[in-house]
Structure 1
Amino acid sequence: MTAKVFSENLSPTFSDISGVVIAGGRGSRVGYQQKALLTYKGEPILKPIMHSLTEQTVSVWVNANAELERYHGLTRQLFSDEYQGFLGPLAGMHAAWQYIETDWAVFVPCDNPNLPHDFVNRLLEAYQSQNNPLVVVDDGERIQPLYLLMHRSMQDSLSEAIAKNHLSVNRWVKENAHTTANFADCCPEAFQNMNTLASFAEAEIS
């Protein structure tokens, strides 16, 4: 689907929003394994993330670039980056718009099983206070650029950033009009990603 023009008069609802889990990395911090498929409390960590998004969005997609046959056991709504070379989350976000049918999407990383139950609702509330094509989580200390609500019109901006090799999501968000959603009062672990094999091992024995 082609990019659409963003209008401040847009008023997205849950039925206008797809969920996308970004799982397209190399997994360098976890021994070059697929982090989304690592075991968390007896099941792949991807499962609770997808479950949470299923309850808050109209459909859930997963972005992955390796071992796709293993992902097929969890979902058929799967897509890979259009760019080669594991360019990072911006490439996954860019590719998503070729698959999802809604004009809005929420993006989350593949290593946090503790998404708030009102995650999408808080993003929508923030959008109503300041209408921008990006709404990003602020945890009270800093923005969390991998957790965001995005309008389809941002496709061109994503393409331009990737073409310039400007691959930092944090930089890209700050360079574009965005709204911050305040999650400072949320649970402490709401945006704590599991970045090491040790963190997964600790979860199994806790």
Structure 2
Amino acid sequence: MSAEPLAALILAGGLSRRMGADKALLDLAGTPMLRHTWEIAQTLTPAVWVVTAWPERYQACLPASAQWILETAPLPNTPPSGPLVAFAQALPQVEADWVLLLPCDLPALRVEVLAQWQQALPQVPPGAIAYLPHQPQGWEPLCGFYRRTCLPNLQTYVATGGRSFQQWLAQQPVQAIPNVPAEMLVNCNTPADWARYRAQLPLQTPDNAG
């Protein structure tokens, strides 16, 4: 069976300590954030997986057809080891030339922007392992595309104790996505962040609530 051109992995394994509530289940205009992200990914590819240590927590907010990859902890009764390890655990289970990696907590994701990035993938240099936004503080590893061929290198890095996306990507050839809308990468980590973001959304009234 040939690989899909694109698959998507949505990471829903964070502990949301600073938020004080599960960010995947925060209400975004009547839709849980995880469902919002899943629906966007589904417009780009039918091959979408949610990567989480707690699938039972989220099954009610997604269709029965949703696909899951179980993130495992290094030891029983310990939390997962972070997004890089989750990615390394999930990537071998996906057959695709490119993988779109997303978190579940970017409320301003825009499907038309992701579609533009997807259309640019054939122009990414063959040696580049990823196509990612770049900011002054470094790469944005959780909103971009990875070639599946990065898997052996990723597994080696994780096996030697590596846990940092930034340190791993600093050792790799990565192509930067140009002209990334800054609002696409807005991340809400605290109740105050979430309140500020929601305050700028259009008010839901009976006329515009759908």
Normalising by the smaller structure, the TM-score range is: 0.7 to 0.9
Matches within 5 A, 1:6-155: 16-31=5-20, 33-66=21-54, 68-73=55-60, 74-75=62-63, 76-84=66-74, 85-116=79-110, 117-125=112-120, 128-131=123-126, 132-138=128-134, 142-155=138-151
Task: Say if 1:129 and 1:91 are closer, same or farther in 2 by CA, change over 3 A.
Answer: closer
Rg larger in structure: 2
Query: 1:86 deviation in Å?
Result: 1.6
Q: Distance in 1 between matches of 2:118 and 2:43?
A: 15
Amino acid at match of 1:79: I
TM-score by length of 1: 0.79
For structure 2, list consecutive stretches of 5 or more residues without a partner in the other structure: 202-210
Secondary structure at the residue paired with 2:184? coil
Q: Distance in 2 between matches of 1:201 and 1:41?
A: 13
Amino acid at match of 1:63: V
Aligned-residue RMSD, C-alpha:
2.6
* Structure 1 contact 123–135 (Cα < 8 Å) conserved: no
* Structure 1 contact 136–148 (Cα < 8 Å) conserved: yes
Percent identical across equivalent pairs?
A: 25
Query: 1:93 deviation in Å?
Result: 0.9
* Structure 1 contact 24–81 (Cα < 8 Å) conserved: yes
TM-score by length of 2: 0.78
Q: Distance in 2 between matches of 1:39 and 1:110?
A: 12
Measured against aligned partners, the alpha-carbon deviations of 1:4-56 in whole angstroms (never above 9, x if no partner) come to xxxxxxxx9xx51011111112222222x432112222221112211111111
For structure 1, list consecutive stretches of 5 or more residues without a partner in the other structure: 1-11
Q: Distance in 2 between matches of 1:103 and 1:126?
A: 10
Worse overlay, 34-43 or 19-28: 34-43
* Structure 2 contact 7–96 (Cα < 8 Å) conserved: yes
